[in-house]
Amino acid sequence: PDSLGWIEGVVRTNPSDSTAGIGLEFRKLSDGQQFQFPSAPRSFKFGLPAGKYLVSGFVDRNGNGRFDRGLVFPYTLSEPFLPYSDTVSVRARFETAGLELEFK
């Protein structure tokens, strides 16, 4: 617990995706360690080890808990995917707030 920091934010989607699940991934830059949250709430707060992270998310329209890239036959569109535009720093015993992911 002494080495964890908190990251807090919100996810916004189109009204048509209001019932779909959200998947979030935090990838630590220093060692590539991944922290995945396949069914994250729209307003989230997670404990993560200290470090800098790349953040990405997807709208889980089919509810299988993973990102689907789509199919050629039968033709199926890819699920919306969003990489966050900057690295996010998490500091031990502190809270990083204000992270906003907006799927358009």
Each residue's pLDDT tens digit, 12-71: 999 999 999 999 999 999 999 999 999 999 999 999 999 999 999 999 999 999 999 999
- Six token digits for residue 91: 């500091």
pTM of the model: 0.90
For residues 15 and 42, the answer to whether their CB atoms sit within 8 Å is no
Reference 14, options 25, 2, 22; nearest CA is 22
Distance CA 77, CA 1 (A): 41
Q: Across 3-70, where does the E strand assignment appear?
A: 4-12, 21-28, 34-40, 43-49, 51-60
Q: What pLDDT is stored for residue 12 in this prediction?
A: 95
* pLDDT band at residue 2 using 50, 70 and 90 as cut-offs: confident
